[in-house]
Structure 1
Amino acid sequence: MKKRVLSLVLTTVVGASSIANTAEKETKEVKAEESQVTWKAYKFGGSHTGTVTLKSGALEFDGEKLIGGEFVVDMSSINTTDLEGDYKNKLDGHLNSEDFFATEANPTSTLVFTKVKSTGKNSYEVTGDLTIKGITKPVTFDVSVYGNKATATLKVDRTKYDIKYSSGIIGTAKDKLIYDEFDLVVDLQM
């Protein structure tokens, strides 16, 4: 009788724990059309802002805890939002060119989370592999998750991805200097 009760208890505990482990993990697809990726780039005496379109993405959770994520951005969707007309078209064209993102040869960029560390309720420090122009480098940034929404802000050093146009110019040409780092602000809807 004791052996039968012990067997029943062990079966129940093992069964319950395996159900709990599989039921907790969940991948939430991001609604790309409702999400937004905004960029801001800086130059001597000013800045420019714009958007790129999220092609696909997902966040992985264990219960309510963020544990992973993966995203694809359509680089040919680069859109300057602080200019209009010819100035906008010229900058969009230049950002798509070989001087910057070479979007014809590199139509997408990706971000794959490699490490997620909880830093508080709904807050995480994420390290991920960011691939731009076929070059992959690690980036670390903060993510906040609230229900079916997530936000992140990344600072990216463009020179690590072989984007060196007007980088580090000194002397009389300093007014043409484009700063090496640009910001990405990401608002995700799941």
Structure 2
Amino acid sequence: MKKFFLPALLAAALLAAAPASAQKKVTPGSSKAATTSYALQPQLSTLGWLGKKVTGEHNGTMQFREGDVLVRGSQIVGGTFAVDMNSLKVEDLKEQEYNAKLVGHLRSEDFFSIDKNPTSTFKITSVTPLKGDAKGNNATINGDLTIKGITQKISFPAKAGVKGGVASATGVATIDRTKFDIKYGSKSFFESIGDKAIMDDFTLSFNVIAKK
């Protein structure tokens, strides 16, 4: 059976059509200015994963269940997001047998233990302005990611903005799976695993849309 390591957040077209406003450093509740909650639009938002191993890689998708984005003026200042782990899909394996085996393995205790942990969450704790990014990102998003009931702090660059009653963010987050007790196939813990090793880092690519 082919093995993978997860890759586990957060629309680009909107941002391309209307460039996001520059972010100022903000944390939820850090100002007396009014904060408005925008509702996440799961049907318009996307979340993809990519995991690599010595001999190849696997990729797929998951779906947001619900969430909200906190907005102050034209700035994104916070937010919470829930991901339905039962929605996890593998896209690169076209043969049904191999696809089902990999999905089953990802659902198991070796990886995400989805039966016991059907939801993963992310909470934004602060947003910091980012300038001069070669990919056009204008903010660093900091927050708490919870997978398998384990919470770790993460940071990642994003292109974020608010316009016309729509808050949006797009980017790629790199996650160290071993910090969430996902050690299967990790050379950091199993030195003699050789070419069966799965990389510790996986990526989550996201396009998030929230409306007022």
Q: TM-score, normalised by structure 1?
A: 0.83
Instruction: Point out the structure with max Rg over C-alpha.
Output: 1
Equivalent position of 1:180 in the other structure: 200
> Whose helix fraction is larger, Structure 1's or Structure 2's?
1
What are the residue-to-residue correspondences of 1:1-190 with 2, within 5 Å?
Answer: 21-22=33-34, 25-84=35-94, 85-120=96-131, 123-146=138-161, 147=163, 148=166, 149-168=168-187, 169-171=190-192, 173-190=193-210
Shift of 1:53: 0.8
Equivalent position amino acid for 1:177 in 2: A
Shift of 1:122: 7.4
Equivalent position amino acid for 2:83 in 1: V
> Whose strand fraction is larger, Structure 1's or Structure 2's?
1
Shift of 1:119: 2.0
Q: Percent identity?
A: 38
> What are the Cα deviations for residues 91-121 of structure 1, in whole angstroms up to 9, with x where unaligned?
0000000000000000000000112112259
Give the Cα separation in 1 of the matches to 2:203 and 2:130.
22
Give the Cα separation in 1 of the matches to 2:48 and 2:178.
19
Shift of 1:75: 0.8
Equivalent position of 1:4 in the other structure: none
Give the Cα separation in 1 of the matches to 2:58 and 2:137.
31
Equivalent position of 2:4 in the other structure: none
Q: TM-score, normalised by structure 2?
A: 0.75
Shift of 1:28: 1.3
Give the Cα separation in 2 of the matches to 1:60 and 1:115.
11
- Alpha-carbon RMSD across the aligned residues, in angstroms, is 1.7
- In the alignment of these two chains, the number of paired residues is 168
Which structure would you say has the larger RCO, counting Cα contacts within 8 Å and 6 or more residues apart?
A: 2
Give the Cα separation in 1 of the matches to 2:169 and 2:176.
23
